[in-house]
Amino acid sequence: MNEPSSDAIPTVEHSGLCALVGRPNVGKSTLLNALLGEKVSIVTRKPQTTRHRILGVLNRPDAQMVLVDTPGMHQSAKRALNRQLNRAAHGALEDIDVVVFVVRGTEWKEDDQRVLERLADVDAPVIVAVNQVDRVQDKRLLLPHLEWLAEQRDFAALVPVSATRGENLDALERETIQRLPSGPPLFPADQITDRDLGFRLGELVREQLMLNLGDELPYTTSVQIEQLHREEGMTRVAAVIWVESDGQKPIVIGRGGERLKKIGRSARLQMENLLGERVHLELWTKIKEQWTNDRRALDELGYTD
């Protein structure tokens, strides 16, 4: 009677959650995508690119590791949006099986120190991924830096990697997966992320905004997908780019609409790449005043976790 039914989910040797944390811009999202072999989280050269907790599911024959990408933890708590980013990153450390603390080469900044301090009361094993080692000019500095890091906490492991070059990622994967408990997989084998298509498409627009706008403006824009229709061999997408003031609109649109066109073209190509079919993309800009500092607006735009 109590025999498990034949379609009960079998347990795997290693199943659990692994959070990628660190200060902004060290390469957490790049690392997530590189480990998964698919772009699930957007990447730019600017800090505070990631605004949400994003899960990426890595399946192996004996394991399922759910990687949690997080916004970079940082000191500035000026805007409600910044506070929300920090909240999402800190919240991601609850109920985690392994933490990967991502740092950049031989750098150690105040925000790295803060992350280390935040990890003080985390019981899960913490592995340091020393990312971007390809950028360390003088390789002789690496070993002393690893030794110095090893003195800062009883880390489970220190793994030098290059996310963009794919160097040593197998070692990082081994070190993390082996520390996951056995259990049933948390996601179906064919699901790569917890985020729906609308979210992923919106992020691809935001990625282009970050890449194509000057220094301050990207942080006051947000993207909302208004329409998403999948037709025979083609997907139609309409998205709104929210800005904070009248003055910001022409900057996003550019002279004769050139900049918005470029943003749209690049985002569309990324979308076509993701979907493997043609995409028709319409972009609009609208104003929502002070949304980055307005709790309710943040909720409306999906910044709730």
Ligand X SMILES: Nc1nc2c(ncn2[C@@H]2O[C@H](COP(=O)(O)OP(=O)(O)OP(=O)(O)O)[C@@H](O)[C@H]2O)c(=O)[nH]1
Residue positions forming the annotated binding site? 22-29, 69-73
Of the two residues 164 and 285, which places its CB atom closer to ligand X in the complex?
164
The distance of closest approach from Cβ of residue 246 to ligand X in the complex, given in angstroms and rounded to an integer, is 28
Of the two residues 29 and 86, which places its CB atom closer to Mg ion in the complex?
29
The distance of closest approach from Cβ of residue 253 to ligand X in the complex, given in angstroms and rounded to an integer, is 25
Question: Residue 136 to residues 111, 116, 133: CA-CA distances in angstroms?
Answer: 20, 22, 5
Of the two residues 121 and 215, which places its CB atom closer to Mg ion in the complex?
215
Among the listed residues 15, 33, 50, 235, the single contact to Mg ion using CB under 5 A: 50
48 touches Mg ion by CB under 5 A: no
Using CB positions, name the residue nearest to ligand X: 72
**Count of C-beta atoms within a 10 Å radius of residue 285:** 16
CA distance linking residue 277 with residue 99, whole number of Å: 37
Of the two residues 29 and 270, which places its CB atom closer to Mg ion in the complex?
29
Parallel/antiparallel/unpaired status of strands 222-231 and 157-160: unpaired
Which residue is it, tokens 């902004």?
24
Let me know: does 35 contact 67? Beta carbons within 8 Å.
yes
Let me know: does 172 contact 58? Beta carbons within 8 Å.
no
Residue 159: strand, helix, or coil: strand
Contacts with ligand X, residue ranges (CB under 6 A): 22, 24-30, 43-45, 47-50, 71-72, 131-132, 134-135, 162-164
The distance of closest approach from Cβ of residue 27 to Mg ion in the complex, given in angstroms and rounded to an integer, is 8
Q: Hey, CA dihedral for 263, 264, 269, 273, is it positive or negative?
A: positive
Question: Residue 117 to residues 110, 135, 167, 235: CA-CA distances in angstroms?
Answer: 11, 26, 28, 46
Size of the site for Mg ion (CB under 5 A): 4
The one-letter amino acid at 70: T
25 touches Mg ion by CB under 5 A: no
The distance of closest approach from Cβ of residue 194 to ligand X in the complex, given in angstroms and rounded to an integer, is 17
The distance of closest approach from Cβ of residue 263 to ligand X in the complex, given in angstroms and rounded to an integer, is 18
Binding partner of residue 18 among ligand X, Mg ion, none, CB under 5 to 8 Å per kind? none
H helix intervals, the chain: 28-36, 80-91, 110-118, 142-150, 169-177, 197-212, 248-253, 258-275, 295-300
Q: Which residues are annotated as a binding site for GTP?
A: 22-29, 69-73
Residue 51: strand, helix, or coil: coil
The distance of closest approach from Cβ of residue 78 to ligand X in the complex, given in angstroms and rounded to an integer, is 16
Of the two residues 133 and 180, which places its CB atom closer to ligand X in the complex?
133
Of the two residues 72 and 185, which places its CB atom closer to ligand X in the complex?
72
29 touches Mg ion by CB under 5 A: yes
Let me know: does 129 contact 100? Beta carbons within 8 Å.
yes
Binding partner of residue 185 among Mg ion, ligand X, none, CB under 5 to 8 Å per kind? none
Binding partner of residue 134 among Mg ion, ligand X, none, CB under 5 to 8 Å per kind? ligand X
Give the binding site for Mg ion (CB under 5 A). Answer: 28-29, 49-50
